Amino acid sequence: MQKFFVHNFGCRATQADGAALESMLEQRGLENAAEARSADLVVLNTCTVTANADADVRSMVRSVHRDNPAAQILLTGCYAQRAPEELAALPGVTWVVGNSHKTQIPDIVAETLTPFHGQIHVGDIFAQHDFLSAPIEDAAGDRARPNLKIQDGCNNRCSFCIIPFVRGRSRSMPAGQVIDQVRHLSQNYREVVLSGINLGRWGREPGQALRLAGLVHRILDETTIERIRLSSVEPMDFSDDLLGLMADSPRIARHVHAPLQSGSDTVLRRMHRKYRPRHYADRVTKARTLMPDAAIGADVMVGFPGETDAEFAETFRFIDELPFTYLHVFTYSARPGTPAADAPEQVPMPVRKQRNRELRELADRKNLAFRQRFVGRPLSVVTLGQGNMALSSNYLKVELLRPATDNLLVDVPIGALTDSGLREFDPLRVL
């Protein structure tokens, strides 16, 4: 076996795992192929957060096996951990390796002497203590903002979520390793995105004293990285210390993303979320007070089992009254093995889709109003290496007047709106 190809599905954490797998396979002497068609080994690093995510994986297995029947297919990741027998039965699948055994993939591949079908390597994910991660330095073609996963797993038990059962307990990259990784990345990049399955729980293992705010302090003190961006952080982990640090340091992106899921107290209770709407509103209001120009985003789920018209209206009003600048709206998808999947009063799919549309329209209006505030003002942006596109500290896409070199951190005067972002001021248009 000479060439391999890794394809990642889903979240930033999965992408970070895939980058680490590529590095480990290369260290074993395998060559990274440009596409699945030319690979001897195809690794599909799966997601299972929704039924659509599962379907995407099965579709790609069929496609790879059809286009490259000689390739050995290895399925790993969250879907592999959740339903290994289901995946092992697919034609062309040689191995199914759960997250519990993901670090062993180079050995599993190397030890195979003869072709066979459907070998399963899946164990107790809650016994997993290894931390698999490598910086993603070219995620989706974005060469300017590497993603660094510094936390994995989740100790919460939200009634709709399968992730704790496929990712295991919360565990953190050691602080010294985080510092080393950021220091290394700062040699080539202006911005680094810190991410995790439950990022705000970084450092919460027994015996650990340093928390996420303290880690960010250390990164600022001990590295020269010009901008740190935090990915999704649970609302109650946006402590006063963390928000204060974000407001005080120009080296931290003005960007707050806190999963909401629902603005209805009764729905949040059925979801087993650990906060109430008033708690969430307090954190968002605090963030806006400290950072008037910050992007504030949320994940919102519609159609959770039992969600009534009145409960959805509560969520709509709650979102409308708070200073959100964008939303990620998800339609509830039942996950086998979760309490919500067996709950009565499943919301009809047409109702779920209509609620999704209504929240997206609300989010579009809020985002437009937010973008309008910056016409005629300068914004700090990092150039993305995608033609003439850049991303502002407060998470707005900015169209530059001309293509720019990757990884520049510059101030850009804003002249106009685009369909979904902003455009740099053009002095020739006012002559």
Q: What pLDDT score does 116 carry?
A: 59
Nearest to 204 by CA among 166, 237, 159: 237
Residue type present at position 310:
A
- Tokens 């409960």 map to which residue? 311
- Distances 50 to 10, 38, 334 between C-alpha atoms, Å: 10, 30, 7
Q: Give the Cα separation of 277 and 282 in Å (integer).
A: 9
Q: Specify the pTM.
A: 0.90
The upper half-sphere exposure of residue 233, i.e. CA atoms within 13 Å in the direction of its Cβ, equals 25
Chain-centroid distance of CA 41 in Å reads 26
Contact, 1 vs 41, CB < 8 A? yes
**What CA dihedral angle connects 315, 318, 322 and 327, to 10 degrees?**
0
Nearest to 222 by CA among 190, 173, 186: 186
| 3-class SS of residue 390 | strand
Q: Give the Cα separation of 76 and 24 in Å (integer).
A: 15
Q: What pLDDT score does 134 carry?
A: 65
Q: 41-46 and 31-32 as β-strands: parallel, antiparallel, unpaired?
A: unpaired
Element at 405 (helix H, strand E): none
Q: What pLDDT score does 12 carry?
A: 83
pLDDT tens, per residue, the chain with 431 residues: 689 999 999 888 888 888 889 989 998 899 999 999 999 999 999 999 999 999 999 999 999 999 999 999 999 999 999 999 999 999 999 999 999 999 899 989 887 655 556 789 999 888 877 777 666 654 444 457 888 999 999 999 999 999 999 999 999 999 999 999 999 999 999 999 999 999 999 999 988 899 999 999 999 999 999 999 999 999 999 999 999 999 999 999 999 999 999 999 999 999 999 999 999 999 999 999 999 999 999 999 999 999 999 999 999 999 999 999 999 999 999 999 899 999 989 999 999 999 999 999 999 999 999 999 999 999 999 998 778 999 999 999 999 998 887 788 999 999 999 999 999 998 877 54
Q: What pLDDT score does 137 carry?
A: 57
Contact, 292 vs 325, CB < 8 A? no
* Helix ranges (DSSP H) in 83-222: 84-88, 105-110, 163-167, 175-185, 212-222
Q: What pLDDT score does 143 carry?
A: 57
* Angle of CA points 406, 407, 408, to nearest 5°: 100
The upper half-sphere exposure of residue 134, i.e. CA atoms within 13 Å in the direction of its Cβ, equals 13
Q: What pLDDT score does 126 carry?
A: 85
Contact, 51 vs 95, CB < 8 A? no
348 secondary structure, DSSP code: P
Angle between helices 349-372 and 309-321 (to 10 degrees): 10
